[in-house]
Amino acid sequence: MGRGRRLLGYASGVVMPAAPIPPAFERLGGRRFSFYPAVLRVSSNEWTFRYATWSEVMVRNAANARDLWIPRRFLGELVESDGPLVVSLLDTLELRDGAVYPRRPRVIEMPVACDAPRAGARGGPAAVVSIRLEGRHESRVSRVAGSAVALGVLGCLAVVGYSLEGGDVRTFRHRDRVVSSLDQTYVALNGGDTYRTVVQALGTPDRERWVNTPNGSRIRLLEYADRGFQAVLDGDRYAGAVDERGHILQSVLMPRGELSTALLRDLAE
């Protein structure tokens, strides 16, 4: 074996090569990095690589020195830029019970009326419903026709969206107003981020300025003109993002427990 390559021995005398380091971490060279999207329920998004197994990679949080195992199947590529190094994740992960799992969507159970029949209750024989089986040729023709209609609708929507926005711009609706930004890297930030972590995540802004809102708050704006948005900080704390016209792109939960929406609206006024 080559120099520096670890071997794992077994009682049977068979030796196996150590688990290879994923290419994204091999290129880090011991430097700190961030995940994108950030791991939910973790306050700091700054990490260092520890070591790897065949199925997982251990990373350490630079803020609290906590080690986490990240399954290899969720790891993407290393993104290098003028800002901090970023390792992409193929799914949004969250910390639960000391381990990371794919984000679990919230399920809201609707209340059942008192006189409604319970699931599984049998009030008599089930009704007989006639089922007509389509022939193979008819079913195939229906699928092709449905696909053609769906593609046509999507094409029309894409043309209309491009015409309205004047280019390849991501758009979404906020309170019946169409707002847009060239990218959405700010979605990885939250109300626990400070000026330092915001700049680490987004890079050096094109321009910084302070403004006063009608309610007397002093707000710091980090402008990213080529990316179509401004990061908003309430003092040193991240409070959300607005587009070039002041429309809200993202609001967050602030450390005091309230949403930053009202603050961002004051800024727009």
| % of the chain residues with pLDDT over 90 | 22
pLDDT for 23 = 80
pLDDT band at 178 (very low <50, low <70, confident <90, very high): very low
Q: What is the 3-state secondary structure (H, E, C) of the chain?
A: CCCCCCEEECCCCCEEECCCCCHHHHCCCCCCEEEECCCECCCCCCEEEEEECCCEEEEEECCCCCEEEEEHHHEEEEECCCCCEEEEECCCEEEECCEEEECCCCCCCCCCCCCCCCCCCCCCCCCCCCCCCCCHHHHHHHHHHHHHHHHHHHHHHHHHHHHHHCCCCEEEEECCEEEEECCCHHHHCCCCCEHHHHHHHHCCCCEEEEEECCCCCEEEEEEEHHHCEEEEEECCEEEEEEECCCCEEEECECCCCCECHHHHHHHHC
pLDDT mean over 111-137: 58
Does the pLDDT at position 113 exceed 70?
A: no
Does the pLDDT at position 222 exceed 90?
A: yes
pTM to 2 decimals? Answer: 0.35
Mean pLDDT is highest, among 5-14, 151-160, 163-172, 232-241, for 232-241
